[in-house]
Structure 1
Amino acid sequence: MKEITYIVSEEEAKTRLDKYLAAQDEALSRSRIQSLVDEGQVCVNGNIQKANYKVKANDTIVLKMEDDRELEVEPENIPLDIRYEDEDVIVINKPKGMVVHPANGNQNGTLVNALLYHCKDLSGINGVLRPGIVHRIDKDTTGLLIVAKNDMAHASLSKQLQTKSVNRLYYALVHGVIPHDFGTIDAPIGRDVNDRQKMAVTASNSKDARTHFKVIERFKEYTLVECRLETGRTHQIRVHMQYIGHPVVGDEKYSYRKTMKTGGQLLHAHQLTFVHPRTNETITVEAPLPTQFEEILEELRAKEA
């Protein structure tokens, strides 16, 4: 991890933070900068700020990031569950436990390592550590993730994510019985001030976040819900379900209840709909529940039969 420090000049004052950083290093894309800001890797005078913060003269900005020059991403022959692929995009059903892209201390066995073995080319917009990566899902979240094979596709998909036209549906098994059939959680999410590794519903340094859910099945102590992301904040579903008192089962970071061994949160991205960057065709891709998730549901049904 490297740290880069910038001091804002009088001429650069009143510029948005993300635009300021993009002007300092042409190799940094706006999407990469946005990710670094979201991850809390950018501080202004020792404080986390949003991307739209207007920098002031003499502000001290510290940017933390992996040094791409020090990391080499090697292709690895790791099996991929490919649910859709053409010349522009590839949609992967990611298994539990797989990290999306390399970082310091975790350079092998990632989805990017596997993609580099499978694909000849990937979009270079997000640098050598995140080739083709348009969005991410957490290590222990399973399911669909779309990857861009070229910069044209990457730009199109990024815009669709920004305009909220990509439809992402997740299944989650949560603690407790949700009494109503539908709901919307509209609560801003930002970095947890007490734990930099966590996100939280907070009024400070937060961004709008909306999750829509509907109940699929109720059990005596659990509820299976389908969640639709309107926004795509870090850990959004996990944070929002905890916020309403129904944390995701198996979530070691956000759930205060440990009732079964799951090896991570029971959260699965089961459907992804997007407009194809080249053909403008609407594409819908689906992935069935992982075996472990399905077996847990079957056990709950058997107990209550």
Structure 2
Amino acid sequence: MSRKFLSILYRDDEIIVVDKPSGLLSVPGVLAERWDSMATRVQSVLPTARVVHRLDCATSGVMVMALTAQSHREMNRQFREREVGKCYLALAYGQIKQDTGTVNLPLIKDWPNRPKQKVCFEQGKEAITHWQVLARQQDYTYVELTPITGRSHQLRMHMKEIGHPLLGDDFYAPEPALTMAKRLQLHAHRLHFKHPVTGIAMEFVAPTSLEFKLAPSASSGYLQNTK
């Protein structure tokens, strides 16, 4: 099995953890040409695999799937009860002046422009994101994003709403930010949860696939373009 087809970070009898590439759907679409997805790739070799959570097509990084009904129920519970720890890495447009912050803006689907989301204080669902600056460059910032809730497009929308859309975001970024990267600069870097059967705490990390990486002298607070 080639790494390109399926990159496995961990597997046992109950769960499988994979590294999803950017541009691959988490679950298959309705049309035949959108059948290829992380779910269908895993199920082609492990037919009992069940989806627990999703990443946007353009987002790369860690995904976990359950291999039994019992594990599926327990993993769903952990996500529902917000017991799963998630950490993303991202490149945001412009210089974020503060070092840390929290965005608390409710989100709802923007039906006329779906699948886009929008902020709605009347009907939107609670959405909370913590962010921390890792490094700054003249026109973009390397940030760590920790979502407390798991709304669709939450990280993309929240960064846009504070004036720093993600580079390469073809839904929410203005032209300058969109053209600074070939793909959405959002990566699900780390996932922490308890094993659904043993209860043992587990953490998985997917090496960053962002187009920009920290320079060797990372302490200087600058990034370098590695494209």
Distance 1:240 1:301 in 2: 23
Distance 1:154 1:263 in 2: 35
2:172 maps to: 254
Structure with bigger gyration radius: 1
Q: TM-score, normalised by structure 2?
A: 0.88
Q: Tell me, what secondary structure is at the counterpart of 1:115?
A: helix
Distance 1:120 1:267 in 2: 29
Q: Tell me, what secondary structure is at the counterpart of 1:272?
A: strand
User: 5+ residue gaps in structure 2?
Assistant: 216-221
Matched, 1:269 2:188: yes
2:36 maps to: 109
Matched, 1:119 2:42: no
Q: Tell me, what secondary structure is at the counterpart of 1:258?
A: helix
Distance 2:12 2:78 in 1: 18
Distance 1:78 1:271 in 2: 20
Equivalences, count: 217
Q: TM-score, normalised by structure 1?
A: 0.67
Q: Higher strand share goes to which structure?
A: 2
User: 5+ residue gaps in structure 1?
Assistant: 1-76, 123-131
Contact 1:78 1:109 in 2 (8 A): no
CA drift at 1:183: 0.6
1:301 maps to: 223
Alignment of 1:149-298 (within 5 A): 149-192=67-110, 194-259=112-177, 260=179, 262-290=181-209, 293-294=211-212
Q: Tell me, what secondary structure is at the counterpart of 1:237?
A: helix
Distance 1:182 1:93 in 2: 27
Contact 1:190 1:200 in 2 (8 A): yes
Q: Tell me, what secondary structure is at the counterpart of 2:157?
A: helix
Q: Equivalent pairs: percent with the same residue?
A: 33
Contact 1:250 1:258 in 2 (8 A): no
Distance 2:34 2:90 in 1: 29
RMSD: 2.2
Contact 1:191 1:205 in 2 (8 A): no
Q: Tell me, what secondary structure is at the counterpart of 2:51?
A: coil
1:86 maps to: 12
Please tell me the residue identity of whatever aligns with 2:185: L
Contact 1:174 1:248 in 2 (8 A): yes
CA drift at 1:107: 4.1
Distance 2:25 2:188 in 1: 15
Contact 2:167 2:180 in 1 (8 A): no
CA drift at 1:197: 2.3
Higher normalized contact order (CA 8 Å, seq sep 6+, divided by chain length):
2
